[in-house]
Structure 1
Amino acid sequence: MYTLSSKLKLTAIICMIVGAIGLIYGFIAAPETVEDVKEMMASHGEHGEEHATEDTHEVNVEQLPGGDTEVENIEHTEDNESHAAEAEHAEAGHGEEASHDNEHYEHILHQLQNKPWAAIYVAAFFFFMISLGVLAFYAVQYAAQAGWSPVLFRVMEAITAYLLPGGLIVFVLLVLSGLHLNHLFVWMDPEVVAHDEIIQNKTAYLNVPFFLIRAAIYLGGWIFFRHLLRKNSIKMDDATDNTIFKKNFKLAAGFLVFFIVTESMMSWDWIMSLDPHWFSTLFGWFVFASLFVSGITTIAIITIYLKSRSYLEFVNDSHIHDLAKFMFGISIFWTYLWFSQFMLIWYSNIPEEVVYFIQRIEDYQLPFFGMLITNFLFPVLLLMNSDYKRVNWFVVMTGIVILCGHYLNVYVMVMPATVGESWFIGIPEISAMLLFGGLFTFIVFNSLTKAPLLVKGNPFIKESKHYHY
């Protein structure tokens, strides 16, 4: 049995406390009114040049040198009429300009208010998707009747323990969005929908009640399947035949059918609908690749950590090698999907589609191209050699880079639609990662203490213990 160390437990709790404090600060520091936004922008000197330009337009007639008095008298009446017309026109123009400025300031206000919300959403979804990715990988092992992986099942089950609390947190965030406590999903704003024909045509699908019902179905199904698989796995320790294993085999096959549909719909709802004008038929697969490789990477890191603490003595370097192979292969799969999606949209150059990438290339250049290095170049170059896949510290180092890269992937998918140009990785983003990282660590390692680290009743357990590649 695994025992949760006091140091690890304390570290997780400290991360949660520090993260919560940082997020509270992020909400307090966010502007509350348009006037706050104006003060912030004025303090950065963004309107100094505009005021200087406006001042140069105010010309006093008395300052003009010379002047023909006779001409002035002749044109005096005409000038009065023209000035009156210009005054009316200027007044109308200033009214429109003031209205436009107010809309602009209000838009910036929503973006700045979104920043802590978006930071929470990115971190909450990131750790939730890791747990969901592990559940999918776990089900694949049962459905394929894999012989190499049963010694890792309890690690996978522990990571999927985060699915319930993590899913509830994401669901609460979606509900709060539906209650208009934030502006993450622009299509939830009735005023926006009233003036947007494209969103109006999607209201049969993009409406708050149906959106939340779908989210409840996704989460309910995933959590239910995880509960049954875990329950049967515990029973398997005392089983005398393969009846329970066969149940899990059927459950896993059924779950994968449910998962392949709901995961795609989840990615449309929770990520792609942040940009309601844009869509990609590859998007469901793209998000799947990200959550799948992130989950496998987390399995490898936690397994190596447990081995370093003298647990999982039945796990050998061949198991680590196979996990690293999946890290390598799915990273290439993710890159294939990224390139296919980008190339087709970029070179077709359809305005409604290409604007998605233009915004990210212009405003998010560093994270947008940076994640290609962390998600493709790093794993390919470091894990291409078969021998390196057996070196624990090498796999951990590569795994950390991969996880950072897929955090950036989620960040780039969410932030442009929610905070626009007003982005930077600051206190809210770091605090959210600390909060959910601490919560994830505590739940996963606490779950490891609830059952033996080896599944005893699995018919492939002997093969798995003696597995060598």
Structure 2
Amino acid sequence: METHNSFNEQFEFSSKGKTWSLIGIVIGILAIAFGLLYKDSHGESHVERTFANLLLNGYYFACVCIAGIFFCSLQYAAQAGWSAALLRVPQAFAKMLPYAAAILILIVACGLFLTQEIVTHEGHHQITGTYLYKEWASKAFTEHGNAAYNHLIAGKADYLNVPFFIGRIVAYLVAYSILGLLLVKYSTNEDELGGMVNYKKSFNIGVTFLVIFGFTVPLFAFDTIMSLDAHWFSTMFGWYNFAAMWVSGLAVITLLLITLRKQGYFSWITVDHLHNLGQLMFGFSIFWTYLWFAQFLLIYYANIPEETVYFYKRWEPEFQPWFWLNIVINFLAPFLILMSRDSKRAIGVLKVACIVLICGHWLDYYMMIMPATVGPHHRGFGVEEIGIFLGFVGLFCFLFFTTLSKFKSLIPKNHPFIGESLHHHI
């Protein structure tokens, strides 16, 4: 393998890596099939639980890819030099987003158009409802004179209706995907042509993405996740989701760089670069905690029924241990592990912190989604939770390493700040 003095290094996706990725995908497919076909001893189907897990992992997959675009855009907008040498990893995320977006849209659409018999929110009527977003997607909730009519849901019908809902999800993901692909295009053009023209285009696209993203990411979270609890609303929920997205993305970027360095790639990435990533993970884990606690404390203190219903579900005995474990994993663990300078420069410690945060924010999304979809009766970690998660891990790895192998160089060799990045020291 060539040293970092050569800018023509390419990644080779090994057959062993492909095999393990495909094994993960097969496990995921089998878990989905199991969930769709299996009925427990009481004759209850697990289809709803399967859809909930698909939404959980599809949303997480898309969020990590979006975080990669956000990372690139932020570096270009800030004209940061330290990160130039590692941009290929988040750029690969940008190229993966169209696939993640298509999967998430498919999951949402199937969850809205496939139906089941459900009991209404008040528990008095049984109607034909959907597997996802069942609190608002049925027309019975908005039809005057219908026994299941709900004035709260009817009041939100102009916003929460299926065509507009799907249209918004598609619009967000298409916009993010186009801007992400443009960032990659201009970076690779810069490698071939040199000069500042493509860097300036990347700067403009990065700024454009940040503006669009800033206005739409709360709406993306409101639509995809918060509308599962359609009777409840929190203005902090969007930024709480953003913090989870950003920390997860940073953890995945850092873990992949550590893994690739161990394989002999990205030899120019030093502990100083990883230190910076560790600082960002530490800082935004604290930010996530601030938003989590502020949302919880204000609702707890006000004790307004329309607000407390969200946390009431998550304080049921079946979910309460995971509720508190969530804050321990996503705040206390990174706080204790990453506080010191030395820990952010110890590769093994940083790797453990990344794995903890990736699993921790999966649990965070689990607590956002499961109580609102399957409720306490199908909670826990069974074949669907473990198998579908492994399937998405396999799919992510297969797409990431395949995408990374298609870059002609693992470093943006004509980036104007590449020299600064290669000599980065803190």
Asked if TM exceeds 0.5, the reply is yes
Deviation of 1:159 (Å): 2.3
Which residue among 386, 389, 406 is the counterpart of 2:361? Answer: 406
User: 1:120 touches 1:429 (CA, 8 Å); kept in 2?
Assistant: no
Residue by residue, what CA displacement relative to the aligned partner does 1:368-401 show, whole Å, maximum 9, x if unpaired? 1111111000101000010110111111111100
Tell me which residue corresponds to 2:42.
Answer: 40
Tell me if 1:456 matches 2:413.
yes
Residue by residue, what CA displacement relative to the aligned partner does 1:230-255 show, whole Å, maximum 9, x if unpaired? 11111010223111100100110011
Deviation of 1:192 (Å): 3.6
Which residue among 11, 28, 33 is the counterpart of 1:19? Answer: 28
Deviation of 1:256 (Å): 0.5
Which residue among 19, 23, 30 is the counterpart of 1:10? Answer: 19
Residue by residue, what CA displacement relative to the aligned partner does 1:429-454 show, whole Å, maximum 9, x if unpaired? 11111111111000011111111111
2: CA distance, partners of 1:396 / 1:115: 31
Give TM-score, length-normalised by structure 2.
0.90
Deviation of 1:208 (Å): 0.4
User: 1:19 touches 1:433 (CA, 8 Å); kept in 2?
Assistant: yes
Deviation of 1:403 (Å): 0.7
Tell me if 1:388 matches 2:343.
yes
Tell me if 1:420 matches 2:385.
no
Tell me if 1:202 matches 2:204.
no
User: 2:65 touches 2:249 (CA, 8 Å); kept in 1?
Assistant: yes
Tell me which residue corresponds to 1:132.
Answer: 66
1: CA distance, partners of 2:96 / 2:326: 25
Tell me which residue corresponds to 1:373.
Answer: 328
Tell me if 1:430 matches 2:386.
yes
User: 1:161 touches 1:443 (CA, 8 Å); kept in 2?
Assistant: no
Deviation of 1:184 (Å): 1.3
Give TM-score, length-normalised by structure 1.
0.82
Unaligned segments of structure 2, at least 5 residues: 1-9, 116-129, 144-148
Describe how 1:107-118 pairs up with structure 2 within 5 A.
Answer: 112-118=46-52
Tell me if 1:336 matches 2:336.
no
Describe how 1:52-451 pairs up with structure 2 within 5 A.
Answer: 112-181=46-115, 182-186=130-134, 187-194=136-143, 195-362=149-316, 363-422=318-377, 423-451=379-407
1: CA distance, partners of 2:70 / 2:298: 29
Q: Which amino acid aligns with 1:147?
A: G
2: CA distance, partners of 1:200 / 1:361: 28
2: CA distance, partners of 1:151 / 1:274: 40
Q: Which amino acid aligns with 2:348?
A: W
Q: Which amino acid aligns with 2:197?
A: T
1: CA distance, partners of 2:160 / 2:194: 50
1: CA distance, partners of 2:94 / 2:218: 19
Deviation of 1:296 (Å): 0.7
Deviation of 1:426 (Å): 0.4
User: 1:141 touches 1:149 (CA, 8 Å); kept in 2?
Assistant: yes
Structure 1, 172-181 or 370-379: larger mean CA deviation: 172-181
Q: Which amino acid aligns with 1:432?
A: I
Work out the number of aligned pairs and report it.
Answer: 394
Deviation of 1:177 (Å): 2.5
1: CA distance, partners of 2:193 / 2:287: 39
Deviation of 1:180 (Å): 3.2
User: 2:232 touches 2:306 (CA, 8 Å); kept in 1?
Assistant: yes
Deviation of 1:162 (Å): 2.2
Tell me which residue corresponds to 1:51.
Answer: none
Tell me which residue corresponds to 2:4.
Answer: none
Tell me which residue corresponds to 1:97.
Answer: none
User: 1:135 touches 1:226 (CA, 8 Å); kept in 2?
Assistant: yes
Unaligned segments of structure 1, at least 5 residues: 32-38, 42-108
User: 1:371 touches 1:409 (CA, 8 Å); kept in 2?
Assistant: yes
Q: Which amino acid aligns with 1:292?
A: W
Residue by residue, what CA displacement relative to the aligned partner does 1:165-223 show, whole Å, maximum 9, x if unpaired? 11101101111133134421021112244421100000000000101111111011001
User: 1:180 touches 1:188 (CA, 8 Å); kept in 2?
Assistant: no
2: CA distance, partners of 1:16 / 1:257: 35
Deviation of 1:5 (Å): 1.4
